[in-house]
Every structure is written in C-alpha cells, then in structure tokens.
Amino acid sequence: MDDRSAGDGGGDGAGDGNGSPIKYTLRNETVSDYREVEELTREAFWNLYVPGCDEHFLVHKMRSHPDFIPEMDFVAVAGKKIIGCIMFTKSYIQNGRGDRLGTLTFGPVCVSPDFQRMGIGSALIRKGIEKAKEDGYPAIIILGDPRNYCRHGFRNSKDYGISNGAGRFPYAQLALILDSEKLVGTDLRFFYSEVFSCDHDEAAIFDASFPNKEMRHESSQDIFSIQCRAFVDD
C-alpha cells in the first residue's frame, strides 16, 4: 500500500463550494503555487503514515517527471489560500501477452488540516474523474484506503482481475473503470509510475529547507502498516 491521501474523505460539500462551510474554487496549479502546495502537502501528511513524511518531496520531483500530467494537476483555493491539491500521473496495465494499456493514478491528494471534512478532497477527486473521462482514459487505479474512495465508484482491483506486478491483489489497490471494453486479455497486472519510488535520504535533505517539525508516532501509522500487508484472497 502506498496511500498518498490526507484529509480527502468525509463531508459532502459540492465541487464548487456550494453546501460547504467555505467558498472555494478549483483550478490548475501554476508555477507560483509550487512552494505553497509543498508546504500544504507537508502539513497534511506529517506523521500520518510514518513519523514525518516525504509526500512534499514527491510533489516537488513529480512535476519534472515524464509521467506527470500537468493538465490534471489541480488545487482548491479559498480566497488567496491554497487549501487542497491533487496530482495525476500516467500508469499502465499489462496483460499476459505483454500488451500495455495506459491508465491514470492520482496522489498525493490532500486538504489542509484546517479545512478537512468539508468535502474539498472529494471535489478534487471528482474534478479529476471528470477530466479523465473527457480525455478518454479507460481507468484510474490507485493505492489507498477504500473508506476514502469507494464512495467515488472505486472497487478493489481484484473485482476486475487486475493484480499488482507480483500477481497479488492488495487490499488497497483500487480501480475505477471508465471503459471496460479496453480491458483486454488475461493476467492483468498494474504498474504505477517509478516516480513514486522515493529516495528517503533525498527527501530528508529537501525537508531540511522547511521549518523544523517534531516527528512522532501516531496510531494512524499502525493502521497504515496493517493495511500495507493486507491482500484480498478468494
């Protein structure tokens, strides 16, 4: 499991802010947003899955990777403050014949701790799904907590016969199929971008450019550890 979500579940505010306690808009990230988005991501993920976090470093390096999709890089803005973000990368499914089908993966997706449980993360996810449909992508496949994503139509990838690269079905590997006719062949295996392979030493160096924060143990880390080791069997 490699869940890159923080504060994306809960609430039912509409995507344009209607019904939410605050007014916000969704737009593409710009270069001038970069540091603010990295700071937001750090705040949202800090001590969530491990002591500290490296998601802000992932955001930093993702933008220059060939699998990154700039037109599917969205932020939520309230006034002049960025309060949420979601990023998409290319991924693929490979069948037993070696044929590849291009898919999408999103993450990190996060909301500022001060604005969670207001439906903002859900609005960002819906925005990405709408864009994926418009652009003709056949599927979005992620690694994340099912409690956050089943409400958006995601199901465990085993339901579609899509395993991970090792041929197993992780509890957290979730798929939203947008065009089932393109899922052709057997022994379907999912592979996400190599950009998610994070060098923790490089991440620590990058993190040193931010204000110091205490690293500590939280119960959410134990839950994450259990989920990482869970697989779906018949």
Classify residue 111 as exposed, middle or buried by CB count within 10 Å of its CB (0-12, 13-18, 19+).
buried
Quote the pTM value. Answer: 0.92
Residue 156 forms part of a structural domain:
yes
Whether 169 is in a domain gets the answer: yes
Range of the domain at 90: 5-194+224-228
The verdict on residue 210 lying in a domain is no
Question: CB atoms < 10 A from the CB of 98, how many?
Answer: 7
Tell me the C-alpha distance between 203 and 215, whole Å.
14
The total number of structural domains in the chain stands at: 1
For residue 205, the SS3 value is: helix
Q: What are the backbone angles phi and psi of residue 80, rounded to the nearest 5°?
A: -110, 10
Instruction: Please list the pLDDT of the chain residue by residue as tens digits (234 residues).
Output: 566 677 654 433 333 334 457 899 999 999 999 999 999 999 999 999 999 999 999 999 999 999 999 999 999 999 999 999 999 999 999 999 999 999 999 999 999 999 999 999 999 999 999 999 999 999 999 999 999 999 999 999 999 999 999 999 999 999 999 999 999 999 999 999 999 998 999 999 999 999 999 999 999 999 999 999 999 987
Residue 186 lies in a domain: yes
Tokens 């496949």 sit at which residue? 141
CATH code for the domain in which residue 16 is found: 3.40.630.30
143-174 burial, b at 16+ Cβ within 10 Å, e below that, comes to: bbbeebbeebebebbbebebbbeeeebbbbbb
User: What are 23's two structure tokens?
Assistant: 């007014």
Q: Judge whether 183 lies within some domain.
A: yes
Residue 2 is predicted with a pLDDT of 64
Q: Is residue 152 part of a domain?
A: yes
Q: Is residue 204 part of a domain?
A: no
Give the three-class secondary structure for 110: strand
Does any domain span residue 205? no
Supply the pLDDT for residue 15.
36
| Count of Cβ atoms closer than 10 Å to residue 225 Cβ | 12
Determine the Cα–Cα distance for residues 140 and 187; give it in Å rounded to an integer.
18
